[in-house]
Amino acid sequence: MKTAKFASSPLPNRVPIKLTRLVPQPPDGQEWLHEIKHDGYRMLAYLDDDQVILETRNKHNWTERFPDIVRELKSLKAKQAILDCELCALLPDGITSFHELQSALATKQTGPLVLFAFDLLFLNGEDLRPFPLIERKQRLKKVLGATKQKRVIYVDFIVGGGPAFFRMCCEAGLEGVVSKRADRPYSEGLSDWIKAKCNIEETLFVGGFVYGSSKRSLRELLVGRKKAQRLDYAGRVGFGFTVEAARSLLQMLEAFRQPKCPFDDKKPRDGQWVRPELHVEVRYSTQSKPGQLRHAVFRGTAKPSWDQRSLPTGTTRR
């Protein structure tokens, strides 16, 4: 099967996916449902009798990659269905890891992966997209609750209390919260689904940098954490610089240049190495398993040891 098309069924050939927009914090109010935001790949699961197709957000057919998930989908008490889902790698502590997901896909060790199902768009010949979300969720729970699933998991929700729920999720180390209007239908594109991501701020040492299009521009900082006499690589910071901040950073880093890479463990492949004397404040969403930052944003310097001056913070994306 190459496309999500079932010639002998009333299932839609392809369902335009509903997107989310980023906001600083979830809304309050009883009209909103809030779900844990899982860190993975968006998928649509199409069921038609004994046929299953798993399709990515970009309409790629990934069915053959996940035989265990396909087997569980076939066991559902539904003749026809379309489920909106997130493909994830679930760690023992209940947190999803994008790094583990990418590793599983790269090594084809996909058996432990799970499919978090959060919406039901079609069921046994009935298009549910015009129905309110709360009703679609209720039907989805019944479909998934008919059998004991290990790889296809229902995404539960709370009603109201979005800001408090968001704080709880961030304290638990989760990625964030997705908030949805309980009374709205499923519509294409950006609409009433919003997401808020948990961010962490940390002071890190700069051990290197990457030039931009020329040696007069800055593309990325290479940052690390000091542990005793070691500097462990923590990843790249390529966003958040104003033009003024990038210019000042580059001027300071050029003065710290050295030929040897200062990182003791996993080293980046490219970069200009510097003495790790400059501290920077970095905001990021999560960390991958090796301790490297994801979605890192520069917030400013933190009183470098050689000079008590600091740079303007700025939040303009490069």
The answer to pTM > 0.95 is: no
Q: How confident is the model at residue 255 (pLDDT cuts 50, 70, 90)?
A: very high
Q: Which of 181, 197, 213 is the last residue of a domain?
A: 197
Asked, for residue 312, whether it belongs to a domain, the answer is no
Q: How confident is the model at residue 94 (pLDDT cuts 50, 70, 90)?
A: confident
Portion of the chain with pLDDT greater than 70, in percent: 90
Average pLDDT over residues 68-96: 92
Quick one: 179 and 241 in the same domain?
A: no
Q: Which of 160, 176, 197 is the last residue of a domain?
A: 197
Beta carbons within 8 Å of 104's beta carbon, 6+ residues apart = 89, 110, 112, 113
Q: How confident is the model at residue 314 (pLDDT cuts 50, 70, 90)?
A: very low
Is a pLDDT exceeding 60 seen at residue 111? yes
Quick one: 23 and 170 in the same domain?
A: yes
Asked, for residue 308, whether it belongs to a domain, the answer is no
Asked, for residue 280, whether it belongs to a domain, the answer is yes
Average pLDDT over residues 177-206: 90
Q: What would the pLDDT profile of 134-156 be if each residue is shown by its tens digit?
A: 999 999 999 998 556 789 999 99
Quick one: 125 and 185 in the same domain?
A: yes
Which CATH number characterizes residue 47's domain? 3.30.470.30
How far apart CA 158 and CA 161 sit, in angstroms, is: 8
pLDDT given at position 294: 79
Total domains, the chain: 2
Quick one: 22 and 165 in the same domain?
A: yes
Beta carbons within 8 Å of 69's beta carbon, 6+ residues apart = 54, 113, 114, 115, 151, 152
Asked, for residue 309, whether it belongs to a domain, the answer is no
Q: Is 28 helix (H, G, I), strand (E, B) or coil?
A: coil
DSSP string, 117-151: EEEEEEETTEE-TTS-HHHHHHHHHHHHHTS--SS
Question: What's the token pair of residue 300?
Answer: 């400013």
Average pLDDT over residues 212-223: 91
Q: What would the pLDDT profile of 61-74 be if each residue is shown by its tens digit?
A: 999 999 999 999 99
pLDDT given at position 6: 39
- Please give the mean pLDDT across all residues of the chain: 86
Q: What would the pLDDT profile of 48-65 be if each residue is shown by its tens digit?
A: 988 999 999 989 999 999
- Asked if 25 and 196 count as a contact pair (C-beta separation under 8 A), the reply is yes
pLDDT given at position 27: 95
Quick one: 115 and 174 in the same domain?
A: yes
How far apart CA 36 and CA 166 sit, in angstroms, is: 9
- Of 250 and 286, the one with more pLDDT: 250
Quick one: 88 and 181 in the same domain?
A: yes
Quick one: 176 and 217 in the same domain?
A: no
Q: Which of 171, 197, 223 is the last residue of a domain?
A: 197
Q: Which domain holds residue 219?
A: 200-301
Quick one: 83 and 166 in the same domain?
A: yes
Question: What's the token pair of residue 32?
Answer: 């909103």
Quick one: 221 and 147 in the same domain?
A: no
Quick one: 188 and 53 in the same domain?
A: yes
pLDDT given at position 126: 93
pLDDT given at position 276: 93
Asked, for residue 281, whether it belongs to a domain, the answer is yes
Asked, for residue 5, whether it belongs to a domain, the answer is no
CA 98 to chain centre: 7
Asked, for residue 42, whether it belongs to a domain, the answer is yes
Q: Strand 286-287 to strand 230-237: parallel, antiparallel, or no bridges (unpaired)?
A: unpaired
pLDDT given at position 313: 33
Quick one: 162 and 218 in the same domain?
A: no
Q: How confident is the model at residue 4 (pLDDT cuts 50, 70, 90)?
A: very low
Average pLDDT over residues 249-257: 94
Of 30-39, 144-153, 188-197, the least confident: 144-153
Is a pLDDT exceeding 50 seen at residue 7? no
pLDDT given at position 290: 67
Which CATH number characterizes residue 214's domain? 2.40.50.140
Quick one: 231 and 170 in the same domain?
A: no
Q: Find the DSSP H helices in 154-257.
A: 162-171, 243-255
Asked, for residue 318, whether it belongs to a domain, the answer is no
